[in-house]
Amino acid sequence: MIKKSFTEHPASVGESYMEHMGSAFGFGSKMVVAGIACLLHGLFPFLFVRTGRSCVEELHHRMVTHRDRRTAPSHDNAHA
């Protein structure tokens, strides 16, 4: 029962627990850094003019467009 709590969602996107943790940490750290940049942009509008938008676009692309590893093309067939 407890193991299912840790593996059910990662499996639903074609990842192991460790793969999912790595992805989540990557997304989270990118959001924290971009969030700080946005806060600084609020104080100093000439800094980090495109950072927030770029982060959102990149994360959207990674999460929504290419998220499910079960349907992603394999690296072996990508250059065929």
pLDDT tens per residue across span 34-70 = 999 999 999 999 999 999 999 999 999 988 876 666 6
Residue range 64-78, pLDDT digits in tens: 876 666 665 554 444
**What string of H, E and C letters represents the secondary structure of 3-65?**
HHHHHHHHHHCCCCHHHHHHHHHHHHHHHHHHHHHHHHHHHCCCCCCCHHHHHHHHHHHHHHH
Please report, for the chain, the start and end positions of each structural domain, with discontinuous segments joined by +: 2-65
- Pairwise CA distance, residues 18 & 3, whole Å: 13
Single-letter amino acid, residue 71:
T
Helix, coil or strand: residue 2:
helix
Q: Of 26, 50, 28, 22, which Cα lies nearest the Cα of 38?
A: 50
